[in-house]
Each structure stands twice: as C-alpha cells, then as structure tokens.
C-alpha cells in the first residue's frame, strides 16, 4: 500500500519520501492522534469535504458523519474525539468510535477551532463577534456545561489563542490595528504578559502546533522584513530567537515530538518545499526538492516522520462557442495559469502564470488566439489582477515590494508601478466605476480593515470607510457603477455581512440576517449574487437587491456564481460534484440552467464575453496526495 515515491532531487542527504495516498485519490488536511497510531483527513464530497479516520498507514478507513473544509481536525488529548469546523462554519465534536457530531458553540458568527485544553473538556476557538462593532475574538467552550466564555476575559482587542499542551498557559495573538503581537496568559486567561513587540507577528495556528509539545515555547511567524520568517519565543524568558531569514516566505512550521526541531514550508528556490531546523537555531536542512507544492505539515507523534500533502496541477484557459459548444485552448500546456479575466471589450484575457515558490507572472493574450505578452515577471506574487474599465491598465496585489501592496501596470508598455507601501497588508483591490481610481481594503490604521481609494497616477490614499470591520478582503465593483460592495463583520452577532459603499464612504447594509459571502455584481449595480446561509444552516446562492430586502433563491446548494453577464441576463456558475467543478449558465429571467461542461477535469472561473457569444474558463487537473518523509537519518547526521 505504501509506495516509495522519491528521494528528493536525487540528493543522498535527503530522506526518502513515500506515498500514503493511492494514485488518483485526493486526501488533504492530515492530523494524527496523540499516540500517532491513527490519522484524520479529508476527501472531496458533495457538498464540501468528507472527514475520515484510519490507521496511520491509511488502512481500515472509516467515514465520520461530518462535512467541512480541509482544515486539519483537532484530536482531543485522549484521542477519543475530533473537533472540526463544519461546512456551515460551526464547530462540532464527533466521537472517533462512532456517533453523531455535536455542535459545541452557540454564536452566529463564523467559527474555527484553535486547540483543546489539557483537561479534554474545554475547547478554544475563534469567532467573529458583534462585540466592538464587529471583531474576531478568542473563546473557550465547556463541553460538559455547554457554556462559552472569552478566552482572555477583559481583552477587548482582536485576539486568537491556543492552550498549551501542559495546561499551564494560553498563547495569544493580539491585534491592535495592524500591529500583531504574541502574548501569554495563565490557564484561565488571566495575567496576560506580552512576549513580542515588533508588531508583525502571527501565531502558527493553522497547523495547530504553535506550542512546543513540552509547553515551554511558542512558534510564530514574523513579517518584519515583508516576507514571513519563523521565530520562537520561550514563555518564561520572553527572549525571541529567529530561526529562518530567507528572502522568500518561511511558514507553516510544526514541532518535533521532543520539542527540539521545527519542520517548515519555504518558498525559497521558486518552489514550495519542506525544510528542517533546530528549535535552538542553526543550519536549515532541505527535506524535499520537488516541483510539486507541499502543504499541511503534520509531525507524527512518537516518530521522526513528517506527513504532508503534495499538490500538482495542470491547467489552461479555454474558450467555448456558446452556440456550437466548440472549445479551443488559449494558453499553452507548458504553463500553469492560476487566474484570468477578460478585457472590457472581450478581445483579450489577462492571466497569472504560476512559477513556483510564491512567484507569479502576469500575461495578456488575444481571445482570438495569438502570441501572449508578459507584463509582470519574477520577484513576487501577482494576486487578483483586474482590467480597468478602459482596458488600458491592470491593477493587482503583489508582495514584490515587501508586504502585500497595490500595484498597477500599463497594458501597452508594461512597467509595473507600486501604488501603496504601507507595512500592513492590502486586500480586495477593485476599480472605481469610472476607472479614475482604485479601491482596496487595508488594515492600515484600523481594527481589521477599511476601504481606501487612490488615484491611478499616484498620490496619497484616501480613506473611504471608518468602521474597521472589513476583515474578509472581499471588495467588488462594476464598470459604470459608482458604488462598490464589501464583506464586513456585522455588529449584529458577528455574522459575515455584505454592505454597499458610496464613493463618499456612506455604507448601507445589503444583507446581515445570516452569514453571506459576496460573489458577483450586476451590470447596473442594483443587485448582487451571494452565497447565503439558509435557516437550515446550509449555504445557497441568492440574488439580493443592492438596496436591501428579500432575496431570490437560485441554483443548487453546490453551485457558486462567478460572473454576471454584461446584458444582465445570465449568471455563470460552477457546480461541484465530489470536488470536480463544471461550468453552467443560469438564466436570470426565467430561472433555467444550462450545463456547459461535464468532464473529468475541473472547470471554474467562467466568464461570458461582452458580445454574449463566448464563454471563457479555466480547466485544470488537480492531484493532491498524502506523503510521508522519515527524518531519522537527517536528524542523526545533524547531531
């Protein structure tokens, strides 16, 4: 069942890597039981992802009654239960031996588990809350009493925390505007003490392994240089030490069971690989050397084995004639495009090319076919590039200047220009309706985020909103429409809400009755498409009036709208079946649907050209498998 896959790059000093997943099976989000004998993971399902447990070698797999995302499940200290975030964004606990999943929280905002307490009867989590006008806060749930309370009583700033394995402390990431620092409190959340002061820190909680297993140190990421580096701070001395300092991102670290080593992901060398470093610092050793991207690190307890996910993806941008269904590939199969959109006149597309290790290029090419041109190359990311209404410029986000900032490039001559240079992170970039300025969301001088505007020829950004609750990074506009739309955290229970923003900063609520997620804006700006939580907890696409009010339920629960046609009559959507996406058209007038693709590959991101004759889409084949690397020889050589 376990197959030898490779010794990375043929380097004799690197460990053997073996495949756990069978070929052709997608498995993500591995997490091990405390004794290292069992593993939990996710596989594609409809809807969402299906949770499984199995022996450590993936034998005797058992399906659990939970569907969610791919976030690694949290094992209780005794290994008898798993805590996960469900597909509806609620934290549930499910017995490993069998039984129903039970929700253990009571809020209406989005939730995510962060760690079990050592007693196994309390669970820490983060939740969007209406406190402070809309915020993220850490909470603790008592499974026995069915009650929740703040993880750090009295803390009014944005915070997220993780209990230590020994039960003596709580590690806390506190955000005060754009400044993020690491704190530690006692097991009751009292007597908090600041450990770091630079203001660019994030706890490595995505892997649920911030704390060293001995409970003495916290692993965190710092972006003081712009890109991420790994640091460790002992909770007693509070003297941080830097573990990595590469010019590219180092992140996703996990501790060895003996607390002496840290395995981590790095984008160095234009590919994402696994590296190893002593927790005390020193030489960094490569574990993998593969063009496939590694993720989801998990160090198996009681062993020297690191388990991870490898992702390889073949992709291309395609066009389809609406009348005949004839398809044509636009981009060559030698590149891997990760994003695209059509120009306002429908004659060109822009697209990003994945070069590996967090580096992308930006290119344009004619829809009718022909040579492509590279506008931006090397040096960093290219995120969500959007055409200006005139089609002469493209705005995008990039970390090529350090932190993620707003950039713009002229389509005819290239020459990218940096528009913002704040030390924080900008998100959700979009054009104003008339194309004279760009809007973006930033955590600069605010609690979570606000909307800003900036002229395309430069100058100082102008603040548009001042409520500080734009924390989701979702901001959409439409050519010819003066207003734009944003994702906010509602003061009404902390739900994910959608608001309409006027150019002068006035905000009106479009929807905050339940959680809602912005998807597309109509050509006139009088309506939006959004994924909305229904009374039964499921998420379903709706058309909502921009002025607020009752919406219209459309499509099936697995469907997601990606584009609203220029004539306003059609929505392009993606429907997912067991993790494979297909493209369809929804007729806004009569409510009928037309399926355009039904292939073994996955299609997404569909758009209709302005003349209504062509659909553009990205088609991809994704391979994601679990692998393991035995680090014994590498650790022995490092003694």
267 lies in the same domain as 208: yes
Q: Which residue has the tokens 């079990």?
A: 116
376 lies in the same domain as 257: no
In 3D space, the residue among 315, 323, 314 whose CA is nearest the CA of residue 609 turns out to be 323
497 lies in the same domain as 633: no
How many CB atoms neighbour CB 578 within 10 A? 12
- The domain that holds 384 is classified in CATH as 2.120.10.30
In 3D space, the residue among 309, 222, 204, 206 whose CA is nearest the CA of residue 262 turns out to be 204
291 lies in the same domain as 318: no
Tell me how many degrees the CA angle 125-498-470 measures, rounded to the nearest 5.
60
Q: How confident is the model at residue 593 (pLDDT cuts 50, 70, 90)?
A: very high
Residues 211-237: pLDDT tens digits? 999 999 999 999 887 788 999 999 998
Q: Domain range holding 485?
A: 313-624
How many CB atoms neighbour CB 413 within 10 A? 7
Q: How confident is the model at residue 639 (pLDDT cuts 50, 70, 90)?
A: low
The tokens describing 356, both together, are: 């590996």
pLDDT at 403 over 90: no
438 lies in the same domain as 568: yes
pLDDT at 391 over 70: yes
What pLDDT was estimated at residue 473? 65
pLDDT at 206 over 60: no
What pLDDT was estimated at residue 503? 92
Q: How far apart are CA 192 and CA 457, in angstroms?
A: 46
26 lies in the same domain as 166: yes
285 lies in the same domain as 144: yes
124 lies in the same domain as 72: yes
Residue % of the chain over a pLDDT of 70: 96
71 lies in the same domain as 113: yes
Count of domains in the chain?
A: 2
- Across the chain, mean pLDDT equals 91
Check residues 356 and 572 and name the one with the higher pLDDT: 572
> Do residues 264 and 253 touch, judged by C-beta distance below 8 A?
yes
317 lies in the same domain as 256: no
pLDDT at 126 over 60: yes
> Do residues 437 and 444 touch, judged by C-beta distance below 8 A?
no
Residues 338-387: pLDDT tens digits? 999 999 999 999 999 999 888 999 999 999 989 999 999 977 899 999 99
What pLDDT was estimated at residue 110? 87
Residues 623-634: pLDDT tens digits? 999 999 999 988
What pLDDT was estimated at residue 238? 74
Q: How confident is the model at residue 201 (pLDDT cuts 50, 70, 90)?
A: confident
Q: Which residue has the tokens 């710092």?
A: 222
Residue % of the chain over a pLDDT of 90: 74
In the three-class reduction of DSSP (H, G, I as helix; E, B as strand; rest coil), residue 611 is classed as: coil
The tokens describing 314, both together, are: 């073949």
In 3D space, the residue among 542, 481, 478 whose CA is nearest the CA of residue 341 turns out to be 478
pLDDT at 415 over 60: yes
Tell me how many degrees the CA angle 361-364-367 measures, rounded to the nearest 5.
140
Tell me which of 112-121, 154-163, 400-409 is least confident.
Answer: 400-409
Give the mean pLDDT of 433-457: 91
What pLDDT was estimated at residue 356? 85
State pTM to two decimals: 0.92
472 lies in the same domain as 333: yes
Give the mean pLDDT of 17-44: 95
What pLDDT was estimated at residue 7? 41
Residues 307-334: pLDDT tens digits? 999 999 899 999 999 999 999 999 998 9
What pLDDT was estimated at residue 12? 66
Residues 57-68: pLDDT tens digits? 999 999 999 999
What pLDDT was estimated at residue 464? 94
pLDDT at 579 over 90: no
296 lies in the same domain as 348: no
């Amino acid at each position: 069942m376990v197959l030898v896959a490779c010794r990375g790059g043929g380097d004799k000093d690197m460990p053997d890597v073996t495949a756990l997943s069978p070929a052709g099976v997608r498995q993500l989000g591995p997490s091990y039981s405390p004794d290292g004998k069992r593993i939990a993971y996710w596989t594609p399902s409809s809807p969402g992802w299906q949770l499984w447990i199995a022996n450590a070698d993936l034998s005797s797999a058992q399906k659990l009654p939970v569907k969610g995302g791919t976030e690694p499940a949290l094992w209780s200290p005794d290994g008898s239960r798993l805590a996960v975030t469900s597909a509806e964004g609620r934290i549930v606990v499910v017995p490993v031996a069998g039984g129903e999943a039970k929700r253990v929280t009571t809020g209406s905002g989005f939730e995510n588990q962060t760690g079990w307490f050592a007693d196994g009867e309390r669970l820490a989590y983060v939740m969007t809350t209406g406190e402070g006008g809309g915020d993220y806060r850490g909470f603790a749930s008592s499974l026995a009493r069915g009650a929740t309370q703040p993880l750090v009583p009295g803390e009014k700033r944005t915070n997220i925390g993780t209990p230590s394995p020994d039960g003596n402390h709580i590690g806390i990431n506190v955000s005060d505007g754009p400044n993020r620092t690491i704190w530690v409190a006692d097991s009751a959340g009292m007597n908090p003490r600041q450990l770091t002061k630079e203001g660019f820190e994030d706890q490595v909680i995505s892997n649920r392994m911030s704390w060293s297993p001995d409970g003495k140190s916290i692993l965190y990421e710092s972006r003081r240089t712009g890109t991420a580096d790994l640091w460790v701070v002992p909770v007693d001395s509070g003297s941080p030490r830097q573990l990595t300092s590469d010019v590219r991102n180092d992140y996703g670290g996990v501790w060895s069971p003996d607390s002496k080593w840290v395995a981590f992901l790095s984008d160095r060398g234009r590919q994402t690989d696994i590296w190893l470093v002593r927790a005390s610092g020193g030489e960094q050793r490569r574990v993998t050397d593969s063009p496939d991207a590694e993720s989801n690190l998990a160090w198996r307890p009681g062993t020297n084995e690191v388990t991870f996910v490898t992702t390889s993806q073949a992709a291309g941008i395609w066009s389809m004639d609406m009348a005949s269904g004839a398809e044509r590939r636009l981009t060559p199969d030698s590149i891997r495009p990760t994003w695209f959109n059509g120009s306002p006149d429908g004659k060109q597309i822009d697209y990003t090319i994945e070069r590996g290790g967090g580096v992308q290029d930006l290119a344009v090419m004619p829809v009718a076919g022909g040579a492509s041109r590279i506008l931006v190359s090397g040096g960093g990311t290219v995120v969500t590039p959007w055409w200006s209404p005139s089609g002469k410029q493209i705005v995008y986000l990039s970390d090529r200047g350090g932190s993620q900032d707003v950039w713009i490039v002229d389509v005819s001559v290239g020459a990218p220009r940096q528009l913002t240079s704040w030390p924080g992170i900008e998100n959700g970039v979009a054009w104003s309706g008339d194309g004279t300025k760009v809007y973006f969301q930033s955590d600069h001088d605010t609690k979570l985020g606000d909307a800003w505007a900036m002229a395309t020829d430069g100058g100082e950004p102008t603040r548009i909103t001042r409520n500080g609750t734009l924390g989701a990074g979702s901001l959409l506009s439409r050519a010819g429409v003066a207003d734009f739309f944003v994702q906010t955290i509602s003061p009404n229970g902390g739900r994910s809400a959608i608001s309409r923003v006027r150019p002068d900063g006035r905000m009106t609520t479009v929807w905050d009755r339940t959680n809602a997620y912005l998807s597309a804006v109509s050509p006139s700006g009088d309506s939006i498409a959004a994924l909305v939580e229904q009374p039964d907890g499921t998420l379903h696409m709706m058309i909502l009036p921009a002025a607020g009010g009752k919406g219209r339920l459309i499509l099936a629960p697995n469907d997601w709208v990606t584009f609203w046609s220029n004539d306003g009559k059609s929505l392009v959507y993606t429907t997912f079946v067991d993790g494979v996406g297909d493209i369809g058209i929804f007729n806004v007038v009569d409510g009928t649907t037309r399926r355009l693709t039904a292939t073994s590959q996955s299609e997404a991101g569909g758009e209709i050209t302005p003349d209504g004759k062509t659909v553009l889409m990205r088609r991809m084949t994704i391979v994601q498998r679990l692998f393991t690397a035995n680090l014994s020889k590498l650790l022995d050589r490092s003694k």
